Amino acid sequence: MKQEKSCGAVIFREDESASRRFYLILKSTQGHTTLCKGHVEKNETERETAVREIMEETGLTVDFLDGFRQVIAYSPRPGHWKEVVFFLARSLGGRIACQPEEVADARFLPFDAAMERLTHPSDRDVLAAADAFLNGR
């Protein structure tokens, strides 16, 4: 069985008063709505992959929060097994610049709206875990 690994992050920002939180979701050029992630390249650490993928797909720079790491695993097609590692990261600002080959749209949404739009239940589970982590700080 072929093994694949991707890494990414639940990316969030807060309004000036930190009373409202918004999460970044991406609509892929393939039509599904997801969190930011991508394949690990040779000799990259998990966080290096996440930083590169975030920059490539959105143009954003982020600051990772320690203590959050969620892993999902699934079979995307027969004979393949994929593991995806998600971190939690605060957007440091800037303008979203979508990678046109992979990302049709990217936007920050409140938690409930982001949950509604995510295609896969596993992404909703990761987003819920990230929100709970942030609420417990």
CATH number at residue 26: 3.90.79.10
* pLDDT tens, residue by residue, 98-127: 999 999 999 999 999 999 999 999 999 999
Q: In whole angstroms, what is the distance from residue 59 CA to residue 40 CA?
A: 18
Report DSSP state, residue 133. Answer: H
Backbone angles phi, psi at 8, to 5 degrees: -165, -155
The predicted pLDDT at position 18 comes to 67
Question: What's the domain range around 45?
Answer: 2-135
Task: Specify the length of the chain in residues.
Answer: 137
Q: In whole angstroms, what is the distance from residue 105 CA to residue 69 CA?
A: 25
Predicted TM-score (pTM) above 0.75:
yes
Count structural domains, the chain. 1
The predicted pLDDT at position 19 comes to 77
User: Using an 8 Å Cβ cutoff, are 72 and 109 in contact?
Assistant: no
* pLDDT tens, residue by residue, 25-84: 999 999 999 999 999 998 999 999 999 999 999 999 999 999 999 999 988 888 899 999
Q: Report residue 16's pLDDT band, with 50, 70 and 90 as the boundaries.
A: confident
For residue 137, give Cα distances in angstroms to 47, 101, 130. Answer: 22, 37, 11
pLDDT of residue 1 exceeding 90 = no
Please name the helix (run of DSSP H) or strand (run of DSSP E) that holds residue 54, with its range, or none. Answer: helix 46-58
User: Using an 8 Å Cβ cutoff, are 30 and 8 in contact?
Assistant: no
For residue 25, give Cα distances in angstroms to 1, 12, 76, 127. Answer: 30, 10, 20, 10
pLDDT of residue 137 exceeding 80 = no
